[in-house]
Amino acid sequence: MVPQPPFPPGTRVLITGTAGFIGYHLARVLLTEGFRVHGFDGMTDYYDVSLKRRRHAMLFQTEGFSASEAMLEDFASLQAVAADFAPDVIVHLAAQAGVRYSLENPRAYIDSNLVGTFNVMELARELEIAHLLMASTSSVYGANAQMPYAETQKADLPLTLYAATKKAAEAMSHSYAHLWSIPTTMFRFFTVYGPWGRPDMALFKFVDAMTKGEAIDVYNHGEMWRDFTYVDDLVRAIRLLIDVVPERPESADKIEPGDSLSPVAPWRVVNIGNSDKVRLTDFIDAIEAELGVKAQRNLMDMQKGDVPATWADATLLQQLTDYRPKTDIASGIAQFVSWYQDWAETR
């Protein structure tokens, strides 16, 4: 019998990308609550694979965790995992990430973010999953200048292939939710940071360079704003959204104002952000204060595909879960620096 929300301990959750930054943290939360978790990860070399393996090694120390290594494009492997694990819920986090890398290797985004995501949706259809949750990104808002970004705004002007593949995944998932009645929640992340983060992201790069006495590249001369979201806040929001299973509405007039619930499918998109845009120069100032080091700032022009600002309206998240991210950047940076210093000693 398929469990119903709120999902009890013992519920089986398949997470793609458990060796990744967010997937690792989400798996920890679910395992602590008594969920069974199976991870599916391709261990690609987009960044240091040893960091991914250390995350998985820590998860394997917890009862209830198992994992498979394979690429999302390999549907036979996904099916084999499903046959053995029989998940009730799928959280699809694995993807080819990175706005700038999409300019260098666009095909990786097509393979992972489109073909891989299609395979996950096919698996959810075959298994009649109780809830499919999939990661999107604030980058889908693209050229939209109206802020804070709300889920009900149009997001039809992506500025990079990365954003375009994520928007395509949203559209594909809506069609599957409509056709096959798969309860689906898409969540749009806003600049996630914290311990065990990715080495290609700004905080990791800045702390690493500043610790070594190297200069940091500051794009658009620091005149950029981001809605920085601490990873613990993000995964808490995902955990709560797992229990908020969308239902196909009887009619469009039954949908609450501000809710992104589809009028024709059990499908919804939700922002997960701090609802507080922070200037990049202020972010760097906070890193300097925590490290006690002045950054050598290499001021540069805006990079192709970047946007000057992101800012989440998290009202819907709060309405659905009675929760919203709240960690300020000083606290979050302090947690990251503490982790980084321990990690740097043992790598």
Query: Among all residues, which ones are annotated catalytic?
Result: 162
CA angle 172, 176, 180 (to 5 degrees): 175
Task: Convert 37-71 into a string of H (helix), E (strand) and C (coil).
Answer: EEEEECCCCCCCHHHHHHHHHHHHCCCCEEEEECC
Paired tokens of 202: 């700004």
Cβ pair 325, 274 in contact under 8 A: yes
CB atoms within 10 A of CB 321: 20
d(CA 155, CA 162): 14
Cβ pair 52, 22 in contact under 8 A: no
Paired tokens of 113: 């973010």
Taking alpha carbons only, the member of 18, 10, 21, 1 closest to residue 64 is 10
Paired tokens of 302: 């805006």
Strand, helix or coil for residue 215: coil
Residue 173: beta bridge partners?
none
- 101-124 core/surface letters (b: 16 or more CB in 10 A; e: else): bbeeebebbebbbbebbbbbbebb
Residue 297: beta bridge partners?
216
Cβ pair 27, 57 in contact under 8 A: no
